[in-house]
Structure 1
Amino acid sequence: MTNTNELQILLTTTDIALASSLILLVMLVSWRLRLHLGSTLLIAAVRTIVQLSFIGLILAWVFAREQWYEVLLILTMMTLIAGIAAKNRVQRVYKGLFTDTLLAVSLSAVLVTTIAITIILQVSPWYTPQFIIPILGLILGNSLTAISLTSNQLVEAFYSQQPRIEMMLSLSATPYEAIHTPMRAAIISGMTPTLNSMLVVGIVSLPGMMTGQILAGADPSQAVRYQIVTMFLICASSTLGCTLSALLTYRRFFNADKQFVLP
């Protein structure tokens, strides 16, 4: 740690080892309470270290080169993995699930990231990896959670509310009218984590991006401004993603004759 106005603590391998020892404490609690989470915690901890170390090496290489096609490749891989992760969190699988989640994740995230890079931050060139990669990563991470929650609840509602939906269709309701109530509830469910974090940010919690910047010695006022921007970006992307996911999903459960069909 330097004794200047801008304090910065450089982490070493020893610091990482000390932090990882906390996982042992968590595993001890799991063992004592018989939660059977020991192996899961160990795998998660190892994957965290390996995955972040690997991406750190890749980002250092990409940051040094700043080639648009390399940045675009990383963005594409991030988006594809986010779509797969969102699909895997939906319990009831149906034909076209991956396509729907990938479209919802990619369209919402790319649109909001483009607005952030070109209009809000005005980054030039647009493929500057220092900005576009972490911003897209933040948006994708939150969007995939919101989209998976929406898709999962909506599909479950289709199965549990099948008699109600078919009754409304028999009474001349359109497919959208018949599923509007469960679709609305699913979108609200997907948006809830984002809204909850926005309600308590700065009071109960200090988000990761803001905390990281402050720990790195950035001006707190600038860190706050960046966090405000990212929170609004995440909110917009999550809303668009949840809405797209719901609209794409419900169309899979109606045939050309507007009949409700479960896979």
Structure 2
Amino acid sequence: MTSTDNLQILLTYGDIALASSLIILVLVVCWWLHLKLTATLLTAAIRTVVQLSFVGLILAWIFAREQWYEVLLILTIMTLIAGGAAKNRVTRSYKGLFIDTLIAVSTSAILVTIIAIGLILQVRPWYTPQFIIPILGLILGNSLTAISLTGNQLIEAFHEQQPRIEMILSLSARPFEAVHEQIRAAIISGMTPTLNSMLVVGIVSLPGMMTGQILAGADPTQAVRYQIVTMFLICVSSTLGCTISALLIYRRFFNSKQQFILP
């Protein structure tokens, strides 16, 4: 491990190997408690190293070239993967779920990223990879979690409460009125992790982005300002994503005659 004049600590491959050896402690716990997570843990650890190393090489190449079409390609791939990840986390799938999750993820994340890049940070040019790639990645990661939680709970509620919904419809209620409670509960479920993080940030925990900047030698006050901005961006994107996802799923469970169906 080497230190520069501005107290920035540069990690070596030996430091990474030492950190990786700590996984042995987790393996011991899994073996002792018979958690049956050894294979999953090893796979996750290997994928973490391989995936992040590969991404690091790609980002270094993209950062050096700064070509808008290459940056746009990376952003598109990231968004498609996020949509697929959100869809895979939903237990009960249906035809068209990927399209719904992709629309919710992309719409919320891209809109908030445009606001961050164009209005708040005022990055010029807009495709500067140092800013737009990590910001979109941060927003996508949190949005897909919120969207998958919303979708999972809403679809489960529609299946489990079908008789109740049909009974409300039989009393002349409109489709949205019949499922409003389920939609509200699902959106709250999706937003809860983000709200919980905002409630304890800086008191109980230091977020990863802020910690990373401080460890990299950034001014703590600037790290705090960036973290405040990102927390608000994540909150907005999660809210938009959950709402769009819930409305798209709601649309799938009613036909053109406003009858409740299970797709």
* TM-score clears 0.5: yes
Shift of 1:173: 0.5
Kindly provide the CA deviation profile for residues 125-148 of structure 1, in whole angstroms up to 9, marking residues without a partner as x: 000000000000000000000000
Structure-to-structure mapping, 1:177-196, within 5 angstroms: 177-196=177-196
Q: State the match for 2:236 in structure 1.
A: 236
Misfit runs of 4+, over 6 Å: none
Q: State the match for 2:201 in structure 1.
A: 201
Kindly provide the CA deviation profile for residues 155-193 of structure 1, in whole angstroms up to 9, marking residues without a partner as x: 000011101100010001111000000100000000000
Structure-to-structure mapping, 1:16-35, within 5 angstroms: 16-35=16-35
* Separation in 1, partners of 2:262, 2:214: 51
* Separation in 2, partners of 1:2, 1:12: 11
Q: State the match for 2:62 in structure 1.
A: 62
* Separation in 2, partners of 1:23, 1:236: 35
Shift of 1:3: 6.7
Shift of 1:34: 0.2
Matched letter for residue 187 of structure 2: I
Q: State the match for 1:45 in structure 2.
A: 45
Matched letter for residue 216 of structure 1: A
Q: Does 1:2 align with 2:16?
A: no
Kindly provide the CA deviation profile for residues 34-59 of structure 1, in whole angstroms up to 9, marking residues without a partner as x: 00000000000000000000000000
Please provide the CA RMSD for this pair: 0.7
Q: State the match for 2:96 in structure 1.
A: 96
Number of equivalences: 262
Structure-to-structure mapping, 1:135-146, within 5 angstroms: 135-146=135-146
SS in 1 for 2:3: coil
Shift of 1:119: 0.2
What are structure 2's unaligned runs of at least 5 residues? none
Kindly provide the CA deviation profile for residues 193-218 of structure 1, in whole angstroms up to 9, marking residues without a partner as x: 00000000000000011001000100
* Separation in 1, partners of 2:4, 2:57: 29
Kindly provide the CA deviation profile for residues 196-250 of structure 1, in whole angstroms up to 9, marking residues without a partner as x: 0000000000001100100010000000000000000000000000000000001
* Separation in 1, partners of 2:226, 2:94: 39
What are structure 1's unaligned runs of at least 5 residues? none
Q: TM-score, structure 2 length as denominator?
A: 0.99
Q: Is the 8 A contact 2:79 2:106 kept in 1?
A: yes
* Separation in 2, partners of 1:3, 1:242: 44
Shift of 1:2: 3.4
Q: State the match for 1:71 in structure 2.
A: 71
* Separation in 1, partners of 2:249, 2:192: 19
* Separation in 1, partners of 2:244, 2:70: 29
